[in-house]
Structure 1
């Protein structure tokens, strides 16, 4: 069953006690998408694709810079990025001191990204980052509120991947609790590795659906081959993030890498 269209989602949001006060259809540069207003800020959505490059065969070196996203394989999904306009700091999440304000801003942003993902009937998975402080501000039942919002609006939590920060992944007991809690409410969970060695610990306390590793760090430390092999043994999809240029992309292709994302695909990023 298809989720409601974007105009239908925004119309239904008017009846919601929190979202109705903030979310509306955009105009001008933000036409055909939902935006949110919170204080002096205007919040919009952008999306960075995560490609499954394992679906295509590649030469050892690309002969030209990426000109067509299709040549890189299928999209696993997209990473939501929060765009802030107006009288606000570049990263309002980091600047917000009050935990209640942080929770409200995070919940609003995630709902907005979900509207702009499900409303146009995008395919694949929606990856949503969770701020480290939010994880500590919410004491229990992580995922309950957001799952209830998605279900209320006819959106499927199983197509949403909650992406945990490296600081959370570094603490095995906390990681295990968070993963089980989010999965209990229907979400998939990804964890950002603080370092390559952490992949050996993530399966002890938590069965993550995805693990992510910074491509530059993995290449610099010459651990790509070992990471790919261990992730394959765990049957845990491994995503190399922050692939910044063609050289890094080509270097990853020397190994059995499947999932990549980063600014190397900038000419195709932030589609709405």
Structure 2
């Protein structure tokens, strides 16, 4: 037990450092993209230049990143072009910074923005509302679902995408920082599970016909701090398992993402070492599109 407690004290110290980095990141050049009004992305009238050709000073890393993003778009476009998307499809995305797109240096809205751009490129008439908000926990998302604008969007949605839960883990860490142990996380799980159930139930009340997808989160520290990977990984897995089970009980869907980042965090995380970068979001967008395919296609006549 003493060894475990030492591990978690180290983990708590690490997480507090990350929290500070995220706060600094929030006040830097990256602008928040959250609004309380549904918006549709308007395709840009100007083409994005190939930076690697126009700017020879670009670093090799930036060029590689640009290439990976383009490859992700090509794969998404290839998948989407083969689909017959339902007419006037409406997708509502709610949740935390992973929905908002924090960490995406292109400021295009993370995985949600990538999906929007993909549908625009294929001329599919898909409306996507993004209500991601940095720092949201399950209790805060529950309250936000009462917002008239958000609830109206959900009522009209065919698909609801959710990212939530990582900040609930962070809250336990901060609340028990001076004497942190696994039992603190374990004790918080039952109430976390109840709030997850409430979220699904509230969405079902607003729109019983919507297909709801909970997107799981990942362990951002597994490569940077392998000595505490097992401990942090266990916590992440158990919280993800709660969300997966709740989604199953509510006859809804869960989308795994932890495997996408496993042994890849060095290349898929942003400069804050916590949120995905644009390449990481590209992988999430691919996984989400693959998961929602069955419900966004027109049924065979």
TM-score band w.r.t. shorter chain: 0.3 to 0.5
Q: Which has a greater percent of helix?
A: 2
With normalisation by structure 2, the TM-score equals: 0.32
Q: 1 or 2 for the larger relative contact order (CA 8 Å, sep ≥6)? A: 2
With normalisation by structure 1, the TM-score equals: 0.35
Q: Which has a greater percent of strand?
A: 1
